[in-house]
Amino acid sequence: MKKSVKKIQKILTILFFIFPGLFGLVMFKLYPIFASLFFSFTDYYVTLSPKWVGFENFKELFQDFLFLKSLQNTFWYFIGLVPIGLIVGIVLALLLVKDFKFISFFRAVMYLPSVVPIYAFAVVALNFFNPYLGFVNGILAKLGIPGPLWTSDERLVKLTLILIAQWGAGQQAMIFMAAMKDIPKELYESARIDGASKWQIFNKITLPLITPAILYYFITSSILALQFFELPQIMFGGGPNNASLSVAIYLYRHAFRYGNMGYASAMAWFIFLVSLLISLLYFKTSKKWVIYG
Amino acid sequence: MKTKKEIYDVIMRFLFLIIVTVVYMAPFFWMISTSLKPNYELYDFPPRLMPSRMDFSNYLKAVQRFPFFVYFRNSLIITGGAILGTLLSCPLVAYGLSILQWKGREIIFFLILSTIMLPNIVTLIPTFLIFRKLNMINTFWPLILPSFFGHPFYIFLIRQFLLTLPRDLFEAAKIDGASEFQIYLKVALPLIKPILLIVALFQFISSWNDYLGPLIYLMDEKKYPLALGLPQFLDRYGTLWNQMMAAATIAVIPTIIFFIFAQRYLLESIKFTGLKG
């Protein structure tokens, strides 16, 4: 008898501690995943109740010119943001990893833009890259180079956004830096004694030993790239001529401007499946390129 | 004695660092410079790097059009509420998932942790509909309440930290007859302060910088945080770039102050994340 009272007490104690986490998991993660899956098979206007339509939403998606356009744009964001962010992050980390005088100042400078709110940075960047009034073309003009129409040329606007996103590269640079600091010093010393060049040292020691951090970067940055929203929405509202329209912006419009919860849920699940597939691909191939030290 | 090559290396490194600094600071320099330009210098081509005279009246005009203090207060309420929720829930859950011993613990932890990889847009619509049912649209609640139910990444960080503490501490308190909650309050919480500070800083940044949340939940301008107030200025007065940049400067100042205070912890935070490769 006494034993079972104790057992119940123990269960209640455990529940007390983990309840918030369990509730959050069910209410804000598990339920929404399945609810949005269900909604994606329904015609669901926000003030009415959902009506089952089978695969109609998904069929419609692939005949929807704007969705296809947004998918294509998102593909380019992905292709641009993930590798360029990797290169910029690694270059910054290499520059900042060695400790010496004033290094904390330089690290702070590199990290500050990733802490500045994106809504403020977007507003500043819009003027910074303005073809006629902005800093970038102002400098180019002083050098006698006619600057491109960064923010108004349909063909360039995605590239402009990808460049602007690099001001946030301090985030991944920190992760790469931490991984680099963990590499044993002896490895570098013996390589130097063997007369290895800087490039060889980077290629044979640094790069392989930060691959776990790179795997983490690939997964997180890919998920973010697939949902690219703030910069193109605040700066261009998806324009000019839908050139910056991402799937996330198009989803936002359908869900929260037109109230088409079913159609928007189909988009959400489509992106979810793509992100699962990409994560799976990283994990599957990771055996071949990730080196756990 | 340093060799010639070493001196060359140091100079090259500094040169690169200075280039990086110029590039990373340029938008902020440009923001402040434009915010001080008189109207008639706004449309010069090529644009002036610096105004010929500083026109501080842009700030006054910006504040008149841009109710900074209302937005600031709203951002503060949302952020403060979310930090409170995070600090109440995450250490509690992390304790339950690390110090307490029970069957199925690892499965629950893994389930919670794996939701880090969930794209936000999958949960966005049903979550919105939950808050709509609860009549909480156009209130701060949808932006605050979820933090009272734990955040997977923060739970993970605190759990990792708890696992590094010697188990004897907890056993000893138990033998002294302390209840689990007392041990949590008196033994665990004081010891995990460093990681709680980091988690609070992360939550500050994520709430203060959140744009999508306020965008879908708040309609009433009086309830706007800075995240909605500033882009609205752009929509309305987008051609008045000097005032626009003055508003942006004002909006960024709290972040800069925060950063000066927090940068030491933020730059060291990576130590705790277990992402060291």
Tell me the mean pLDDT in the region B95-119: 93
Which is nearest to A231 in space by CA: A93, A74, A30?
A74
Specify the CATH number for the domain of residue A78.
1.10.3720.10
Residue A90's pLDDT is: 97
Say if A20 falls within a structural domain. no
Per-residue pLDDT of chain A (293 residues; tens, 9 = 90+): 577 888 898 899 999 999 999 999 999 999 999 999 999 999 999 889 999 999 999 999 999 999 999 999 999 999 999 999 999 999 999 999 988 888 889 999 999 999 999 999 999 999 999 998 899 999 999 898 988 999 999 999 999 999 999 999 999 999 999 999 889 989 999 998 998 888 999 999 999 999 999 999 999 999 999 999 999 999 999 989 999 999 999 999 999 999 999 999 999 999 999 999 999 999 999 999 998 86
Say if B145 falls within a structural domain. yes
Partner residue facing B270 (CB), from A35, A123, A174: A174
Chosen for mutation from A119, A269, A290 (greatest number of chain B CBs closer than 10 Å) is A119
Q: Is A127 on the interface with B (CB under 8 A)?
A: yes
What is the per-residue pLDDT across B194-215, written as a single tens digit (0 to 9) for each?
Answer: 999 999 999 999 999 999 999 9
Distance between CA atoms of residues B240 and B62, nearest Å: 10
Say if A283 falls within a structural domain. yes
Hey, are the CB atoms on B255 and A135 less than 8 Å from each other?
Answer: no
Say if A112 falls within a structural domain. yes
Residue B276's pLDDT is: 45
Distance between CA atoms of residues B245 and B33, nearest Å: 9
- Do B54 and B102 reside in the same domain of the chain? no
3-state secondary structure (DSSP) of residue A260: strand
Closest approach of A179 to chain B, Cα-based (Å): 5
Partner residue facing B100 (CB), from A14, A29, A175: A14
Distance between CA atoms of residues B75 and B228, nearest Å: 10
Hey, are the CB atoms on A135 and B21 less than 8 Å from each other?
Answer: no
Say if B263 falls within a structural domain. no
**Residue B50 — pLDDT band, cuts 50, 70, 90?**
confident
Specify the CATH number for the domain of residue B149.
1.10.3720.10
Q: When comparing pLDDT for B271 and A243, which is higher?
A: A243
- Do B87 and B150 reside in the same domain of the chain? yes
Hey, are the CB atoms on A261 and B129 less than 8 Å from each other?
Answer: yes
Closest approach of B242 to chain A, Cα-based (Å): 10
Residue B58's pLDDT is: 92
Check whether the bond before A240 is cis (ω within 30° of 0). yes
Range of the domain at B30: 4-61
- Do B145 and B56 reside in the same domain of the chain? no
Residue A148's pLDDT is: 93
Distance between CA atoms of residues B83 and B202, nearest Å: 9
- Do B12 and B123 reside in the same domain of the chain? no
**Residue B46 — pLDDT band, cuts 50, 70, 90?**
confident
- Do B94 and B193 reside in the same domain of the chain? yes
Say if A212 falls within a structural domain. yes
Residue B275 identity (one-letter amino acid) = L
- Do B104 and B40 reside in the same domain of the chain? no
| H or E element in which residue A51 lies | strand A51-52
**Residue B236 — pLDDT band, cuts 50, 70, 90?**
confident
Up-side HSE of residue B117: CA atoms within 13 Å toward CB? Answer: 20
Partner residue facing B93 (CB), from A20, A28, A216: A20
Closest approach of A187 to chain B, Cα-based (Å): 16
**Residue B7 — pLDDT band, cuts 50, 70, 90?**
confident
What token pair was written down for A114?
């990733």
Number of domains within chain B: 2
Q: Is A228 on the interface with B (CB under 8 A)?
A: no
Q: Is A258 on the interface with B (CB under 8 A)?
A: no
- Alpha-carbon distances of B44 from A38, A141, B26, B38, B62, rounded to whole Å: 56, 12, 19, 11, 21
Number of domains within chain A: 1
Say if B204 falls within a structural domain. yes
pTM for this structure? 0.92
Hey, are the CB atoms on A21 and B155 less than 8 Å from each other?
Answer: yes
Say if A12 falls within a structural domain. no
Partner residue facing B117 (CB), from A17, A142, A279: A279
Say if B134 falls within a structural domain. yes
What token pair was written down for A197?
């060049």
- Alpha-carbon distances of A199 from A203, A225, A226, B19, rounded to whole Å: 6, 30, 33, 21
- Do B23 and B154 reside in the same domain of the chain? no
Say if B71 falls within a structural domain. yes
* E strands, chain A, in order: 42-43, 51-52
B45: which chain A residues are within 8 Å (Cβ-Cβ)? 132-133, 141
**Residue B2 — pLDDT band, cuts 50, 70, 90?**
low
Say if A1 falls within a structural domain. no
- Do B92 and B51 reside in the same domain of the chain? no
Radius of gyration of chain A (CA): 24
- Do B51 and B161 reside in the same domain of the chain? no
- Do B192 and B168 reside in the same domain of the chain? yes
Residue A76's pLDDT is: 97
Partner residue facing B208 (CB), from A28, A117, A227: A117
Q: What is the DSSP letter of A43?
A: E
B149: which chain A residues are within 8 Å (Cβ-Cβ)? 20-21, 23-24, 27-28
**Residue B277 — pLDDT band, cuts 50, 70, 90?**
very low
Say if A6 falls within a structural domain. no
- Do B171 and B194 reside in the same domain of the chain? yes
Say if A270 falls within a structural domain. yes
Residue B233 identity (one-letter amino acid) = F
What is the per-residue pLDDT across A157-171, written as a single tens digit (0 to 9) for each?
Answer: 999 999 999 999 999
Residues 6+ apart with CB under 8 A from A231: A118, A122, A125, A161, A164, A165
Hey, are the CB atoms on B148 and A106 less than 8 Å from each other?
Answer: no
What percentage of chain A's residues is helix, strand, coil (to nearest 5)? Answer: 75, 0, 25
Hey, are the CB atoms on B270 and A177 less than 8 Å from each other?
Answer: yes
- Do B87 and B126 reside in the same domain of the chain? yes
Distance between CA atoms of residues A191 and A122, nearest Å: 44
A194 by Cβ neighbours in 10 Å (0-12 / 13-18 / 19+) ranks as exposed
Range of the domain at A108: 40-289
Chosen for mutation from B2, B24, B97, B207 (greatest number of chain A CBs closer than 10 Å) is B24
